[in-house]
Amino acid sequence: MRIVQKYGGTSVASVERIQATAQIIKAELDSGNEVAVVVSAMSGETNRLLQLVNSMSDNPPMREVDALVATGEQVTAALLAIELNKLGIIAYSFSGAQAGFKTEGNHSKARIKDVQSDHLIKHMERGEVPVVTGFQGVDEQGNTTTLGRGGSDTSAVALAIAVKADSCDIYTDVDGIYTTDPRIEPNARKMDSISYEEMLEFASLGAKVLQTRSVELGMRYNMPIHLRSSFDLVEGTWVTREDSNMERAEISGVAYNRDEAKVTIKGIPDQPGIAAAVFGPVAEADINVDVIVQNVSEDGQTDLTFTVPRNDYDATITLLQRLCEKMKAREVLGDNTVAKVSIIGVGMRSHTGVAKKMFDVLAQENINIQMITTSEIKVTVVLEEKYVELAVRSLHEAFGLNHT
């Protein structure tokens, strides 16, 4: 088997962690597999470098910021290669440019165009280990670029695809994806596997274990991603193509997000273009709108309610009050103590009544649902934040996810 392993910042945070990581790589080689490794910067290092920049300039050229922060992964890659050589393993570090990561030129959020890593395959076939810096590449002019925060996951999956690996193993400080947050529901179970689509839904709800772009890339090229812990070498969760042969449970997991606020603009004269009139300025202010509900029009007026990240609540209220006057709407209301709870699962495609069951469960607990939004494999409700734990536990049990 040929495997690309990726180690995040906590897995290379110190000399001791790098040594432990080298032992995991050695065990993989000893079991007869070919290995290439992608590494992040030591945890804290990227922030340290960015603080240096911020102490100098409010508006630094992004080309230089990229050149600067890219050194973080280069340090880790060289140190890990040194440790592997100490264990008798021939290993070479490669910067993004050296590893063949060709990107577009948009600094700090470059997209990968191509990974030209045939030279790395030669090393792997000889039992040698290429250690590649994640998060970075090089544009057509030879400038160093970075892929943006969390980009190392994307680097790893892209490399796995390029070297035709059998899997991409993402080592991190959690041991997998759980049916829900174990801090809320102790009976939460670690999933053996999850589909790319479900993983994307979990990620969009703030599960920070895997970068969205890396999941999309894995999905497009059908690269199995094994999300697992470098601190506890048990099987983690496989992110793979949906297995159509398998009998699916109704839902795979329950997710939630407290980082929500709700705003309403009431009594807007209902005429074509009001959504654009509201959401245009909101988008310009770089505020991410999530759940949106527009009431049925009544007396030529309508209400528009949507959620935004809690951090943007104040800015959104200010902005809407200005719009309210301009559009001659009635008033602006808001609530920054709401939360989202979602049930997710490809199984709901073939099980009818999943949404109804969810509403019933919440009604039984006397939890009022403020907003609802659905996708093919997800139902999300917005509710008062104080009900989050109760809602999560009730749904987790009602849909048969509890550990037995």
Binding site residues, a second copy, CB under 8 A:
15, 18-19, 49, 52-53, 55-57, 59-61, 63-65, 67-68, 70-71, 74-75, 77-79, 81-83, 85-86, 92-93, 95, 97-98, 142-144
- Using DSSP bridges, classify how beta strands 101-103 and 2-7 pair: parallel, antiparallel or unpaired: unpaired
CB 254 within 8 A of CB 395: yes
Minimum Å distance from CB 15 to a second copy? 5
Minimum Å distance from CB 85 to a second copy? 5
Minimum Å distance from CB 26 to a second copy? 15
Minimum Å distance from CB 94 to a second copy? 9
- Using DSSP bridges, classify how beta strands 129-133 and 91-94 pair: parallel, antiparallel or unpaired: parallel
Closer residue to a second copy in complex, CB, 78/121: 78
Closer residue to a second copy in complex, CB, 79/392: 79
Q: Helices 313-327 and 274-284 sit at what angle, rounded to 10 degrees?
A: 140
| Helix (H/G/I), strand (E/B), else coil: 22 | helix
Closer residue to a second copy in complex, CB, 82/355: 82
Minimum Å distance from CB 116 to a second copy? 12
**Interatomic CA distance for residues 116 and 102, integer angstroms:** 8
Closest by CA position to 11, among listed 76, 95, 86, 98: 76
Q: Which helix (H) or strand (E) holds 392?
A: helix 388-398
Minimum Å distance from CB 204 to a second copy? 34
Residue with tokens 């340090």: 75
**Interatomic CA distance for residues 255 and 272, integer angstroms:** 35
Closer residue to a second copy in complex, CB, 56/296: 56
CA triple 395-361-307, angle to 5 deg: 75
Closer residue to a second copy in complex, CB, 78/333: 78
